[in-house]
Amino acid sequence: MAVLQPVRGTYDLLPEAMRAHRHVVDTAAGVTLCYGFEEVATPVFEFTEVFSRTLGDTSDVVTKEMYSFETQGGDHITLRPENTAGVARAFITNGLAQHAPVKCFYAGPMFRYEKPQKGRQRQFHQIGVELIGAAQPQADVEVIAAGVAVLKSLGIYEETTLELNTLGDPASRTAYRDALVAYFSAHKDKLSEDSLMRLEKNPLRILDSKDPSDRELVKDAPVFGDFLNEESKAFFKAVKDGLDSLGIAYELNPRLVRGLDYYNHTCFEFTTQALGAQGTVMAGGRYDGLIEQMGGQPTPGVGWAAGIERLAMLANDTPEAVRPMVIIPLGDAAEIRALTLAEEIRAEGYRVEMAYGGNMKKRMKHANKIDAGIAIIMGDDELAKGVAMVKDLDSGEQEEVPLEQLVGGITAWELAEMYGEDGLPSDPQD
């Protein structure tokens, strides 16, 4: 019988990877809460229309990458490929407009049927923030600043570059779109098949093409900045001035775009050279047309999303595993007392493992295998005397400690302070 394997593009988060994953999520949740972003969770699957309407019928995500299926009841359902649409849907269906501006933080799995690559599997995980209901450029600055703060807290900000561009307002976007159509239409014979399909419906997406022929054409394509009206220029200037006032460095990238019509004004990406070709760490922008496109009232919004796997790969301060204490009971009576002792120490917030079975050598081997720092050894003789042997597994030093001091007069917290995280002090009386 063949050994069962995970589905291609999925993987297991084992303890070490899970610690790195959790470190990213907990750090980001704590940092963004300082900016007022409270955590929400939307369903992992939505009606397919939530994504097909918002991501566009011509996008690769909708046409090639979504995990969609029909339920037994005939509903068309899709596993979420991203979470901005889900948060926007939640904003509408829960009547959150009355509480605007609304600030949301999220973390969770996303799903895209694409070629697995470094830092991006078919099931991958993202963190993100959405600020819905604020039209001012200062909201864009605040969202970017929150992203900077997360990257700094993870210790990876210095490895990234903030790339910044503007998509202007709808009038500017329409003028730019017309110019792109005219330019690329004159070079139809050199466009890839995908770009030919995008030419009439979504020409901005041609600027994102990875096809070598398309990329050559893009080099000479019109630049968005040449089509901005005064209102759009003023908005972008306010964003840049805000970033300058916070000392947040950025590079202008006139080719940085978002292909969907509900995006406008600010778009940005934090990129890095540390992950090879997969250089985008965090990406976001303003999407003032999204809520209306989903059936809600016209409502501005801005946000960003970041891949947890990529952040975890870059983070340099992932916490180590917490070293446990291990209790080694020897004898029937000691095993019963060890159970209550372990619970009393765990109640103080410490990790305690039990070493059952086998002789003393095997139990100590188990303690070393799990990298325990302290062993509390209890035999029937020790129990009769009301003591336990506390051993530093790094230095080998040990000391008899009265049980009432372990579980009564000295709490587990004081025990850890007395013996340290890794073992006993040089002088047990200190």
Q: Which residues contact 295 (CB under 8 A, 6 or more apart)?
A: 92
What letter represents residue 241's amino acid? Answer: D
Helix or strand or coil: residue 382?
helix
Cα 425 to its chain centre, rounded Å, is 40
| CA-CA-CA-CA torsion sign (167, 169, 171, 174) | positive
Cα 342 to its chain centre, rounded Å, is 35
Beta strands in 218-279 (DSSP E): 251-252, 264-272
| CA-CA-CA-CA torsion sign (212, 215, 217, 220) | negative
Q: Let me know: does 375 contact 425? Beta carbons within 8 Å.
A: no
Q: Is 53 annotated as a binding residue?
A: no
DSSP 130: E
> Helix, strand, coil shares of the chain as percentages rounded to 5?
45, 20, 35
Q: Is 48 annotated as a binding residue?
A: no
Beta bridge partners of 388: 401
Q: Are strands 264-272 and 280-286 parallel, antiparallel or unpaired?
A: antiparallel
| Cα–Cα distance for residue pair 33/56, rounded to 1 Å | 32
| Cα–Cα distance for residue pair 39/45, rounded to 1 Å | 18
Q: Is 130 annotated as a binding residue?
A: yes
Task: Using alpha carbons, list the distances in angstroms from residue 229 to 171, 255, 327, 338.
Answer: 8, 18, 72, 75
| Cα–Cα distance for residue pair 247/42, rounded to 1 Å | 34
Overall residue count recorded for the chain in this entry? 430
Q: Let me know: does 240 contact 164? Beta carbons within 8 Å.
A: yes
For the chain, what is the radius of gyration of the CA atoms?
28
Cα 88 to its chain centre, rounded Å, is 19
Q: Is 112 annotated as a binding residue?
A: yes
Q: Is 71 annotated as a binding residue?
A: no
| Cα–Cα distance for residue pair 175/183, rounded to 1 Å | 13
Q: Is 255 annotated as a binding residue?
A: no
Q: Is 263 annotated as a binding residue?
A: yes
Q: Let me know: does 256 contact 236? Beta carbons within 8 Å.
A: no
Neighbour-count burial of 399, counting CB atoms closer than 10 A to its CB (0-12 exposed, 13-18 middle, 19+ buried): middle
User: Cis omega (within 30 of 0) on the bond before 101?
Assistant: yes
Nearest one of 73, 93, 82 to 52, comparing CA atoms = 82
Give ∠ CA 288-292-295 in degrees, rounded to 5.
155
Q: Which residues contribute to the annotated binding site?
A: 82-84, 112, 126, 130, 258, 262-263
Q: Which residues contribute to the annotated binding site for L-histidine?
A: 82-84, 112, 126, 130, 258, 262-263
